[in-house]
Amino acid sequence: MRSSKSYKELSVSEFSRAAEKYETDHAGVYNICKKDYPDILEEIEKEPFTDLLDAGCGTAPMLSLLSSRFPEAHFTGIDLTPKMIEVAKRKQLPNTIFVCGDCENLPFDDNSFDVIICSQSIHHYPHPQDFFQSVKRCLRPGGRLILRDMTMKNPIVHWFVNKIELPFLNLLGYGDVHCYNQAEIKQLCQEADLILESFEQRKGLKLHAVIRKKKE
């Protein structure tokens, strides 16, 4: 079993290599992330918000879309990889700030955000419970975490991906740690005292979950 530091070093190395091509037609495997954007946007549009955090923002493709769609809102992006943040900052998006930091320990004040989005990022976190605890602290009462990633209902496929496929990808230089099923996400929510409002496996083995901080 790799250490937390080892996984994070792999992720920083992986996405440092990918940063310049991440949003191009030559993004390779990362093109799969683009399929998340319409579903995230649809979910965000269901409720008004003022402040939104993109956890694992990469080069900010989602924040680019949101800043043009919601010019009155305030946006923050955080990513572990300095090169990703460097590329994101070049966009000079209005009402948007970028922070190079660790999503397992979000460096923001309590009750800072109405919405946190996290797309294709959580499977890189060695300690996902720390992320959920940070989400609870940083969300305002009644705020939402919109979570997207890969998932699989079939327990055999779930086992194969986590025990065989991801360790092999680690050997190739990818920082993948674990893909989550519904029971695992539910447990992470319970431990953080968050409400799992919905969990779906959508087309393409895509996890789509809405997680709510309780109202005070």
Q: Tally the domains of the chain.
A: 1
With a CB cutoff of 8 Å and minimum separation 6, the contacts of 24 are none
Tokens 């309590």 sit at which residue?
Answer: 110
* Rg of the chain, C-alpha, whole Å: 16
Q: The domain spanning residue 140 has which CATH number?
A: 3.40.50.150
Partners of residue 115 on adjacent β-strands: 52, 144
Q: Domain residues for 18?
A: 4-213
Least confident of 10-19, 102-111, 113-122, 139-148: 10-19
Give the HSE-up count for residue 11: Cα atoms under 13 Å, Cβ half-sphere: 29
Q: Which residues pair with 62 in a beta bridge?
A: none
Residue owning tokens 């890189």:
124
Residues 6+ apart with CB under 8 A from 198: 208, 209, 210
Distance CA 54, CA 146 (A): 10
Q: What is the pLDDT of residues 126-147, one digit of tens each?
A: 999 999 999 999 999 999 999 9
Does the pLDDT at position 1 exceed 80? no
* Averaged pLDDT of the chain: 95
Q: pLDDT of 171-215, one tens digit each?
A: 999 999 999 999 999 999 999 999 999 999 999 899 999 999 999
